[in-house]
Amino acid sequence: MELIATVSCTLIIQDNISVAKFLQTSLYVNTSISKPVKHYFVINQNYPLNQHSLNFKLISRYKAIPDQWIKSIKARDLSRTNQNDGILTNGASLVSSIYRKGGFGALKFITANSQYVNCGHSTSFDVTNLTICGWLYLNSTVRGGIVDKLSGTFTGYTYVFNQNGTFKQSFFTDAGGWNHSTTALTSGSWNHIAITIIGSSGTFYLNGKSDGTFSGASVTINTEDVTIGIDYSSAALDVYLDDIII
């Protein structure tokens, strides 16, 4: 999502309660998970977690909602503004047997089949201030792309898991190279992950808390497709994903 203006609000954060609706886009703070951990829809690192300002313009949202999210081979963009529907590729599918508390299912990716969603390119993705967030359930710790928009000349960005065996969130831009979160992730449980880029400054988040900061990572606009579940090098995740928001 693009950071364009400041919207002040107070968030009431309690387990299993979702509050706060912005810009008439049906975006809610999502606090439901299988463990009693508080989570936040989007976080600006300049403010406390329980009361802060939010700067955003929704680009796309991909959430596992049966009969709404999956239409034929498409993953529907639920933002209601840009309609950046994604194409389920190489057998990526919605499954209802694995879901986080409060969710309806998840999108399943299998590394061996290089499964992913291709969201294409539109001018709505042409942003330099950026937030990406979503729910991730690792089936294994194999390296792979979470959200990718990196060109062959390495302009744009890529957001991956387990770059160089770190088992962490990692983010690359041509200006800033690779940066990594603080905490290593493990398989077998849901985690809410997020990254924000404001100018050239970035912050990782894990389960509602800051998980590392970095600088010098300005994003260059390109015309590459946005993909979910695979990166520029065709490294695909072995994972369930839900509610990926850009």
Q: Over the stretch 142-157, which tens digit does the pLDDT of each residue have? A: 999 999 999 999 999 9
Residues 176 and 218: beta-carbon distance below 8 Å: yes
pLDDT of 20 over the 70 cut: no
Give which of 38, 23, 1 is closest to 192, Cα–Cα. 38
Euclidean distance between CA atoms 112 and 101, whole angstroms: 28
What are the distances in angstroms from CA 192 to CA 67, 80, 154, 156?
24, 23, 27, 23
Model confidence at 18: pLDDT above 80: no
Q: What is the pLDDT of residues 188-237, one digit of tens each?
A: 999 999 999 999 999 999 998 999 999 999 999 999 999 999 999 999 99
Q: Where is average pLDDT lowest: 62-76, 103-117, 124-138, 216-230?
A: 62-76
Q: What is the pTM of this model?
A: 0.77
Mean pLDDT value across residues 231-244: 92
pLDDT of residue 218: 93
Kindly report which listed range (21-25, 173-177, 240-244) carries the lowest average pLDDT score. 21-25
Query: For residue 146, which of 164, 129, 168 has the smallest C-alpha distance?
Result: 168
Q: Which residues contact 23 (CB under 8 A, 6 or more apart)?
A: 7, 56, 57, 58
Spatial contact of 143 and 161, defined as CB atoms under 8 Å apart: yes
Pairing of strands 51-54, 116-120: unpaired
How does the average pLDDT of the chain come out, rounded?
75
> Is the model's pLDDT at 36 over the cut of 80?
no
Q: How far apart are alpha carbons 175 and 172 in whole angstroms?
A: 8
* Average pLDDT score over residue span 87-102: 76
Considering only the C-alpha atoms of the chain, give the largest distance between any 2 of them, rounded to a whole number of Å: 45
